[in-house]
Amino acid sequence: MSCDHDLDAEYLHPGDVDILEFHEENDELHVKLALPCPECSEALELDAKVESVEEGDFELPLSDELYD
Ligand SMILES: [Zn+2]
């Protein structure tokens, strides 16, 4: 079974996503995400490059409520 659905931000929810790992490629920070395809529920791995890092406006430690 394979999935070639285009991922639509409208159907992606932070609560459905797990962070698998951080890693570096060419001195750039990447983050690997695990999530189910919203269309077919296939297990997907996303590799995303971190484009920017800024101070966030939230309390630490992070709570699960942030992801609801
Ligand atoms: Zn799919």
Q: Which amino acid is at 14?
A: P
* Per-residue tokens: 36: 């189910």
Using one digit for the tens of pLDDT, what is the confidence trace for 3-58? 999 999 999 999 999 999 999 999 999 999 999 999 999 999 999 999 999 999 98
Predicted TM-score of the model (pTM): 0.78
Task: Please identify every residue whose CB atom is under 5 Å from ligand 1, which is an ion.
Answer: 3, 5, 37, 39-40, 42
Q: Is 37 helix (H, G, I), strand (E, B) or coil?
A: coil
The arrangement of strands across the sheet holding 18-25 comes to 18-25, 28-36, 43-49
State the pairing for strand pair 18-25/28-36. Answer: antiparallel
Q: How far is the CA of 25 from the centre of ligand 1 (A)?
A: 27
Q: How far is the CA of 37 from the centre of ligand 1 (A)?
A: 5
Q: How far is the CA of 65 from the centre of ligand 1 (A)?
A: 27
In angstroms, the Cα distances linking 68 to 41, 43, 63 are: 20, 21, 10
As a residue count, the chain comes to: 68
